[in-house]
Amino acid sequence: MNNISLNLLVKNLDGLWLRQKLTMDNIANYSTPGYKSKVVDFESNLRDKIKDINSENVVNKSLFNEAIENSSIIVSESDDLSLRLDENNVDLEKENLDLAKTQLQYMYTVTEMNSYFSKLKSVISEGKK
């Protein structure tokens, strides 16, 4: 696929899917002593790669697609302090809010992708049903 918008949507779905999975893992490990919650970051790496291309004032579709494909989804251990004696740093309220936010973002991205393919289908069929 050589479409920047579609590649961004796909990268977004990949990052959101992993964030949702790790958030559910964090919630599942709420009672595990010593467990450190995990966080996912893909937006900042993608933003930096695209910003680098924009700073060069280059309008090259393949460079943008390459930046999107080469951007990393980074999983790291949360550095949030534990307020519990068992040193588990999972904040159940925060994790549930993050899960809801991620689910909404995922649904929105899927809706955008469906819209993209509906428009493409309409163009291919020349607007005929």
Residue pair 38/26 in contact (Cβ under 8 Å)? The answer is yes
Q: Please check whether residue 129 lies inside any domain of the structure.
A: no
CA-closest candidate to residue 12, choices 112, 119, 96: 112
User: What confidence category does residue 58 fall into, taking pLDDT thresholds of 50, 70 and 90?
Assistant: low
User: What confidence category does residue 50 fall into, taking pLDDT thresholds of 50, 70 and 90?
Assistant: confident
Question: Interior CA angle at 46 toward 5 and 67, to 5°?
Answer: 70
Domains held by the chain: number? 1
Q: Please check whether residue 104 lies inside any domain of the structure.
A: yes
Distance CA 76, CA 67 (A): 22
Q: Please check whether residue 82 lies inside any domain of the structure.
A: yes
Q: Please check whether residue 23 lies inside any domain of the structure.
A: yes
Residue 126 has pLDDT above 90, yes or no: no
What is the residue range of 109's domain? 4-124
Looking at residue 1, its pLDDT comes to 54
The single-letter code of the amino acid at 111 is T
